[in-house]
Amino acid sequence: MPTPANPWLPALPPFLLALAVTAASVPFVRRLSFRVGAVARPGGRHLHPRPTGRLGGLALLLGVVAAVAAFGRGIGSWAEILGISVVVTVLLALDDRFDLAPWTKLVFQTGSAIVVAAGFGITITSVHLPFAVLELSWLAIPVTVVWLVGMQNSINLLDGVDGLAAGVVGIVAGILLVAAIDRLGRSPGQAGVILLSAAVIGACLGFLVFNFAPARIFMGDSGAHLLGLLTGIITIVGVAKTTAALALFVPVVALALPIGDTAFAIVRRRLAGRSPAAADTRHLHYRLLALGLSPRETAVAFYLVTAILGCLGLAIYGHRKILAVALVLLGVGLVLLLRRVRRRRPLAATAPERSL
Protein backbone atom coordinates (compact mmCIF):
# COMPACT_ATOMS: atom_id res chain seq x y z
CA MET A 1 0.00 0.00 0.00
CA PRO A 2 1.61 3.31 -1.06
CA THR A 3 2.25 5.96 1.57
CA PRO A 4 -0.19 8.89 1.17
CA ALA A 5 1.12 12.44 0.87
CA ASN A 6 -0.53 13.26 4.18
CA PRO A 7 -0.26 10.14 6.40
CA TRP A 8 -3.02 11.43 8.70
CA LEU A 9 -5.68 11.37 5.97
CA PRO A 10 -6.34 7.58 6.08
CA ALA A 11 -7.27 7.90 9.76
CA LEU A 12 -9.90 10.59 9.24
CA PRO A 13 -12.74 8.67 7.49
CA PRO A 14 -12.83 5.69 9.94
CA PHE A 15 -12.55 8.10 12.87
CA LEU A 16 -15.50 10.21 11.73
CA LEU A 17 -17.65 7.23 10.78
CA ALA A 18 -17.04 5.42 14.09
CA LEU A 19 -17.77 8.62 16.03
CA ALA A 20 -21.02 9.30 14.16
CA VAL A 21 -22.34 5.72 14.28
CA THR A 22 -21.53 5.28 17.97
CA ALA A 23 -23.10 8.59 18.99
CA ALA A 24 -26.19 7.90 16.88
CA SER A 25 -26.53 4.37 18.31
CA VAL A 26 -26.38 5.26 22.01
CA PRO A 27 -30.02 6.45 22.37
CA PHE A 28 -31.29 3.24 20.78
CA VAL A 29 -28.96 1.06 22.87
CA ARG A 30 -30.02 2.92 26.00
CA ARG A 31 -33.66 2.12 25.31
CA LEU A 32 -32.73 -1.49 24.61
CA SER A 33 -30.95 -1.69 27.97
CA PHE A 34 -34.14 -0.76 29.81
CA ARG A 35 -36.26 -3.03 27.65
CA VAL A 36 -34.21 -6.15 28.41
CA GLY A 37 -33.41 -5.23 32.01
CA ALA A 38 -29.66 -4.57 31.61
CA VAL A 39 -29.80 -1.67 34.04
CA ALA A 40 -27.61 -0.51 36.92
CA ARG A 41 -30.06 0.61 39.58
CA PRO A 42 -29.28 2.99 42.46
CA GLY A 43 -28.16 1.43 45.69
CA GLY A 44 -25.48 -1.04 46.67
CA ARG A 45 -22.38 -0.49 44.59
CA HIS A 46 -24.15 1.88 42.20
CA LEU A 47 -24.01 5.50 43.37
CA HIS A 48 -25.94 7.05 40.50
CA PRO A 49 -29.23 8.68 41.53
CA ARG A 50 -31.22 7.08 38.71
CA PRO A 51 -31.27 3.76 36.81
CA THR A 52 -28.66 3.69 34.03
CA GLY A 53 -28.44 1.35 31.03
CA ARG A 54 -25.46 -0.99 30.85
CA LEU A 55 -25.34 -2.03 27.20
CA GLY A 56 -23.21 0.83 25.90
CA GLY A 57 -20.75 -1.72 24.57
CA LEU A 58 -23.17 -2.42 21.75
CA ALA A 59 -22.94 1.20 20.56
CA LEU A 60 -19.14 1.03 20.70
CA LEU A 61 -19.26 -2.20 18.70
CA LEU A 62 -21.49 -0.70 16.02
CA GLY A 63 -19.13 2.26 15.58
CA VAL A 64 -16.04 0.07 15.24
CA VAL A 65 -17.76 -2.44 12.95
CA ALA A 66 -19.03 0.32 10.64
CA ALA A 67 -15.59 1.93 10.33
CA VAL A 68 -13.60 -1.27 9.82
CA ALA A 69 -16.16 -2.81 7.44
CA ALA A 70 -16.24 0.36 5.33
CA PHE A 71 -12.51 1.07 5.15
CA GLY A 72 -10.71 -2.14 6.12
CA ARG A 73 -11.13 -4.26 3.01
CA GLY A 74 -7.45 -3.94 2.16
CA ILE A 75 -6.30 -4.71 5.70
CA GLY A 76 -5.35 -8.26 6.65
CA SER A 77 -7.57 -10.10 9.18
CA TRP A 78 -10.15 -7.30 9.21
CA ALA A 79 -13.08 -9.71 8.97
CA GLU A 80 -11.68 -11.97 11.69
CA ILE A 81 -11.16 -9.02 14.03
CA LEU A 82 -14.71 -7.85 13.48
CA GLY A 83 -16.02 -11.36 14.05
CA ILE A 84 -14.29 -11.86 17.39
CA SER A 85 -15.28 -8.34 18.45
CA VAL A 86 -18.95 -9.16 17.85
CA VAL A 87 -18.69 -12.47 19.72
CA VAL A 88 -16.96 -10.93 22.76
CA THR A 89 -19.38 -8.02 22.96
CA VAL A 90 -22.47 -10.21 22.70
CA LEU A 91 -21.19 -12.73 25.27
CA LEU A 92 -20.30 -10.04 27.77
CA ALA A 93 -23.61 -8.29 27.15
CA LEU A 94 -25.11 -11.38 28.78
CA ASP A 95 -23.13 -10.49 31.88
CA ASP A 96 -24.47 -6.94 31.77
CA ARG A 97 -27.94 -8.46 31.89
CA PHE A 98 -27.50 -11.49 34.16
CA ASP A 99 -24.36 -10.71 36.24
CA LEU A 100 -22.48 -13.88 35.40
CA ALA A 101 -19.93 -15.45 37.75
CA PRO A 102 -16.32 -14.19 37.44
CA TRP A 103 -15.09 -17.58 36.21
CA THR A 104 -17.57 -17.43 33.32
CA LYS A 105 -16.15 -14.12 32.17
CA LEU A 106 -12.63 -15.52 32.49
CA VAL A 107 -13.64 -18.35 30.15
CA PHE A 108 -14.93 -15.81 27.62
CA GLN A 109 -11.74 -13.74 27.92
CA THR A 110 -9.41 -16.71 27.55
CA GLY A 111 -11.42 -18.25 24.73
CA SER A 112 -11.41 -15.05 22.69
CA ALA A 113 -7.67 -14.61 23.26
CA ILE A 114 -6.96 -18.18 22.12
CA VAL A 115 -9.03 -17.65 18.97
CA VAL A 116 -7.10 -14.47 18.14
CA ALA A 117 -3.70 -16.06 18.77
CA ALA A 118 -4.12 -19.65 17.59
CA GLY A 119 -6.98 -19.18 15.16
CA PHE A 120 -6.12 -15.89 13.45
CA GLY A 121 -2.34 -16.07 13.90
CA ILE A 122 -2.21 -12.61 15.51
CA THR A 123 0.60 -13.17 18.00
CA ILE A 124 3.50 -11.45 19.70
CA THR A 125 6.33 -13.34 18.02
CA SER A 126 9.20 -11.36 19.50
CA VAL A 127 9.98 -8.66 22.02
CA HIS A 128 12.49 -6.00 20.99
CA LEU A 129 14.74 -5.10 23.89
CA PRO A 130 17.24 -2.19 23.80
CA PHE A 131 20.18 -4.45 22.90
CA ALA A 132 18.60 -7.64 21.67
CA VAL A 133 15.54 -9.23 20.12
CA LEU A 134 13.89 -11.94 22.20
CA GLU A 135 12.22 -14.47 19.90
CA LEU A 136 9.30 -16.12 21.67
CA SER A 137 8.99 -19.20 19.43
CA TRP A 138 6.49 -21.63 21.01
CA LEU A 139 5.77 -19.11 23.76
CA ALA A 140 4.19 -16.71 21.25
CA ILE A 141 0.64 -18.05 21.68
CA PRO A 142 0.60 -18.29 25.51
CA VAL A 143 2.23 -14.86 25.87
CA THR A 144 -0.33 -13.38 23.48
CA VAL A 145 -3.21 -15.01 25.37
CA VAL A 146 -1.94 -13.61 28.67
CA TRP A 147 -1.56 -10.15 27.10
CA LEU A 148 -5.08 -10.12 25.66
CA VAL A 149 -6.71 -11.45 28.83
CA GLY A 150 -4.77 -8.91 30.87
CA MET A 151 -5.85 -6.07 28.61
CA GLN A 152 -9.51 -7.01 28.91
CA ASN A 153 -9.34 -7.18 32.69
CA SER A 154 -7.34 -3.95 32.94
CA ILE A 155 -9.91 -1.94 31.02
CA ASN A 156 -12.77 -3.65 32.84
CA LEU A 157 -11.34 -2.71 36.26
CA LEU A 158 -10.65 0.80 35.00
CA ASP A 159 -14.35 1.27 34.20
CA GLY A 160 -15.31 2.45 37.69
CA VAL A 161 -15.87 6.17 37.10
CA ASP A 162 -18.01 7.86 34.44
CA GLY A 163 -16.05 8.41 31.24
CA LEU A 164 -12.82 6.96 32.63
CA ALA A 165 -12.33 3.82 30.54
CA ALA A 166 -13.54 5.32 27.24
CA GLY A 167 -11.33 8.38 27.64
CA VAL A 168 -8.20 6.46 28.62
CA VAL A 169 -8.61 3.93 25.79
CA GLY A 170 -9.20 6.76 23.32
CA ILE A 171 -5.97 8.45 24.41
CA VAL A 172 -3.99 5.21 24.26
CA ALA A 173 -5.36 4.54 20.78
CA GLY A 174 -4.24 8.05 19.82
CA ILE A 175 -0.72 7.32 21.05
CA LEU A 176 -0.67 4.09 19.04
CA LEU A 177 -1.96 5.98 16.00
CA VAL A 178 0.89 8.48 16.23
CA ALA A 179 3.43 5.65 16.54
CA ALA A 180 1.94 3.83 13.54
CA ILE A 181 1.90 6.94 11.34
CA ASP A 182 5.54 7.58 12.24
CA ARG A 183 6.47 4.10 10.98
CA LEU A 184 4.16 4.08 7.95
CA GLY A 185 6.20 3.27 4.85
CA ARG A 186 9.06 1.81 6.91
CA SER A 187 7.20 -1.06 8.51
CA PRO A 188 4.47 -3.30 7.04
CA GLY A 189 1.19 -3.69 8.86
CA GLN A 190 0.87 -0.11 10.07
CA ALA A 191 -2.11 0.64 7.81
CA GLY A 192 -4.13 -1.81 9.90
CA VAL A 193 -3.00 -0.14 13.12
CA ILE A 194 -4.01 3.27 11.77
CA LEU A 195 -7.46 1.99 10.76
CA LEU A 196 -8.19 0.21 14.04
CA SER A 197 -6.78 3.03 16.18
CA ALA A 198 -8.83 5.66 14.36
CA ALA A 199 -11.99 3.55 14.68
CA VAL A 200 -11.44 3.04 18.41
CA ILE A 201 -10.75 6.76 18.97
CA GLY A 202 -13.92 7.73 17.11
CA ALA A 203 -16.06 5.18 18.96
CA CYS A 204 -14.71 6.27 22.34
CA LEU A 205 -15.34 9.97 21.64
CA GLY A 206 -18.83 9.28 20.33
CA PHE A 207 -19.60 7.28 23.45
CA LEU A 208 -18.13 9.90 25.80
CA VAL A 209 -20.81 12.35 24.68
CA PHE A 210 -23.22 10.23 26.75
CA ASN A 211 -20.82 8.58 29.23
CA PHE A 212 -18.89 11.52 30.67
CA ALA A 213 -20.13 12.38 34.18
CA PRO A 214 -22.99 12.37 34.85
CA ALA A 215 -23.28 9.29 32.64
CA ARG A 216 -26.51 8.60 30.81
CA ILE A 217 -25.31 5.12 29.84
CA PHE A 218 -22.57 2.74 30.96
CA MET A 219 -20.39 0.73 28.59
CA GLY A 220 -20.78 -2.33 30.83
CA ASP A 221 -18.58 -5.40 30.69
CA SER A 222 -19.45 -5.72 27.00
CA GLY A 223 -17.84 -2.37 26.20
CA ALA A 224 -14.89 -2.73 28.56
CA HIS A 225 -13.93 -6.14 27.20
CA LEU A 226 -14.40 -5.00 23.61
CA LEU A 227 -12.09 -2.02 24.12
CA GLY A 228 -9.58 -4.16 26.02
CA LEU A 229 -9.50 -6.80 23.28
CA LEU A 230 -9.18 -4.24 20.48
CA THR A 231 -6.43 -2.32 22.28
CA GLY A 232 -4.54 -5.57 22.79
CA ILE A 233 -4.95 -6.52 19.12
CA ILE A 234 -3.80 -3.08 17.94
CA THR A 235 -0.60 -3.33 19.97
CA ILE A 236 0.07 -6.83 18.64
CA VAL A 237 -0.54 -5.91 14.99
CA GLY A 238 1.72 -2.90 15.41
CA VAL A 239 4.46 -4.89 17.08
CA ALA A 240 4.33 -8.27 15.37
CA LYS A 241 5.14 -6.87 11.93
CA THR A 242 7.76 -4.29 12.82
CA THR A 243 11.52 -4.48 13.12
CA ALA A 244 11.78 -1.17 14.93
CA ALA A 245 12.97 -1.06 18.54
CA LEU A 246 9.65 0.51 19.51
CA ALA A 247 8.21 -2.95 20.22
CA LEU A 248 5.77 -3.09 23.13
CA PHE A 249 7.41 -0.22 25.00
CA VAL A 250 5.13 2.65 23.97
CA PRO A 251 1.82 0.83 24.48
CA VAL A 252 3.00 -0.58 27.81
CA VAL A 253 4.03 2.87 29.03
CA ALA A 254 0.80 4.48 27.81
CA LEU A 255 -1.21 1.74 29.53
CA ALA A 256 0.88 1.84 32.71
CA LEU A 257 -2.01 3.05 34.89
CA PRO A 258 -4.57 0.33 34.11
CA ILE A 259 -1.92 -2.40 33.85
CA GLY A 260 -0.22 -1.40 37.10
CA ASP A 261 -3.51 -0.95 38.94
CA THR A 262 -4.72 -4.39 37.85
CA ALA A 263 -1.43 -6.09 38.75
CA PHE A 264 -1.36 -4.42 42.17
CA ALA A 265 -4.99 -5.41 42.81
CA ILE A 266 -4.23 -9.07 42.05
CA VAL A 267 -1.14 -9.12 44.30
CA ARG A 268 -2.92 -7.22 47.07
CA ARG A 269 -5.87 -9.61 47.13
CA ARG A 270 -3.74 -12.73 46.98
CA LEU A 271 -1.56 -11.55 49.88
CA ALA A 272 -4.74 -10.97 51.86
CA GLY A 273 -5.86 -14.53 51.08
CA ARG A 274 -8.70 -13.35 48.85
CA SER A 275 -9.70 -14.20 45.31
CA PRO A 276 -8.27 -11.88 42.59
CA ALA A 277 -11.88 -11.32 41.52
CA ALA A 278 -12.98 -10.17 44.98
CA ALA A 279 -14.19 -6.58 45.17
CA ASP A 280 -12.50 -3.87 47.19
CA THR A 281 -12.28 -0.07 47.17
CA ARG A 282 -8.54 0.40 46.83
CA HIS A 283 -8.21 1.06 43.11
CA LEU A 284 -6.50 4.29 42.18
CA HIS A 285 -9.63 6.00 40.87
CA TYR A 286 -11.42 5.31 44.16
CA ARG A 287 -8.48 6.77 46.06
CA LEU A 288 -8.77 9.94 44.00
CA LEU A 289 -12.48 10.11 44.80
CA ALA A 290 -11.60 9.72 48.47
CA LEU A 291 -9.24 12.68 48.21
CA GLY A 292 -12.22 14.82 47.25
CA LEU A 293 -12.04 14.82 43.45
CA SER A 294 -15.33 14.60 41.59
CA PRO A 295 -15.91 11.84 39.01
CA ARG A 296 -15.17 14.36 36.23
CA GLU A 297 -11.95 15.50 37.87
CA THR A 298 -10.89 11.91 38.50
CA ALA A 299 -11.43 11.04 34.84
CA VAL A 300 -9.52 14.12 33.68
CA ALA A 301 -6.65 13.27 36.05
CA PHE A 302 -6.39 9.84 34.45
CA TYR A 303 -6.57 11.39 30.98
CA LEU A 304 -3.65 13.69 31.81
CA VAL A 305 -1.45 10.97 33.28
CA THR A 306 -2.19 8.58 30.39
CA ALA A 307 -1.34 11.29 27.84
CA ILE A 308 1.83 12.18 29.72
CA LEU A 309 3.03 8.58 29.90
CA GLY A 310 2.21 8.00 26.25
CA CYS A 311 4.06 11.15 25.21
CA LEU A 312 7.09 10.12 27.27
CA GLY A 313 7.08 6.71 25.63
CA LEU A 314 7.02 8.33 22.19
CA ALA A 315 9.73 10.80 23.18
CA ILE A 316 12.11 8.02 24.19
CA TYR A 317 11.85 6.60 20.69
CA GLY A 318 12.45 9.73 18.69
CA HIS A 319 9.52 12.09 19.24
CA ARG A 320 11.61 14.55 21.25
CA LYS A 321 9.22 17.47 20.86
CA ILE A 322 6.50 15.39 22.50
CA LEU A 323 8.54 15.42 25.71
CA ALA A 324 7.96 19.17 26.12
CA VAL A 325 4.21 18.63 25.69
CA ALA A 326 4.30 15.87 28.33
CA LEU A 327 6.08 18.09 30.83
CA VAL A 328 3.57 20.91 30.31
CA LEU A 329 0.69 18.48 30.79
CA LEU A 330 2.34 17.12 33.90
CA GLY A 331 2.73 20.58 35.39
CA VAL A 332 -0.83 21.62 34.58
CA GLY A 333 -2.23 18.36 35.92
CA LEU A 334 -0.32 18.52 39.19
CA VAL A 335 -1.28 22.14 39.81
CA LEU A 336 -4.96 21.46 39.18
CA LEU A 337 -4.99 18.36 41.34
CA LEU A 338 -3.18 20.04 44.25
CA ARG A 339 -5.53 23.01 44.15
CA ARG A 340 -8.56 20.73 44.08
CA VAL A 341 -7.35 18.57 46.95
CA ARG A 342 -6.59 21.62 49.10
CA ARG A 343 -10.05 23.06 48.50
CA ARG A 344 -11.97 19.92 49.40
CA ARG A 345 -12.05 17.80 52.50
CA PRO A 346 -11.53 14.07 51.94
CA LEU A 347 -14.72 12.12 51.52
CA ALA A 348 -15.63 9.67 54.25
CA ALA A 349 -16.39 6.83 51.88
CA THR A 350 -15.56 5.72 48.38
CA ALA A 351 -17.50 3.93 45.69
CA PRO A 352 -17.28 0.15 45.76
CA GLU A 353 -15.46 -1.58 42.98
CA ARG A 354 -16.77 -3.89 40.32
CA SER A 355 -15.42 -7.42 40.25
CA LEU A 356 -13.55 -8.98 37.38
| Residues 278-299 as b or e (16 or more Cβ within 10 Å = b) | eeeeebbbbebbbbebebebbb
- Give pTM, 2 decimals: 0.85
pLDDT at residue 301, as a whole number:
82
Q: Contact, 173 vs 228, CB < 8 A?
A: no
Question: What are the backbone dihedrals phi and psi of residue 20, each rounded to the nearest 5 degrees, phi first?
Answer: -65, -45
pLDDT in tens, 320-343: 666 677 778 777 877 877 676 676
Whole-number Å distance between alpha carbons of 168 and 56: 16
Q: Which residues pair with 217 in a beta bridge?
A: 53
Peptide bond into 10 cis (omega under 30): no
Q: Contact, 230 vs 85, CB < 8 A?
A: yes
pLDDT at residue 271, as a whole number:
66
Domain residue extents for the chain? 9-343
| Weakly modelled stretches of the chain, pLDDT under 50 | 240-247, 346-356
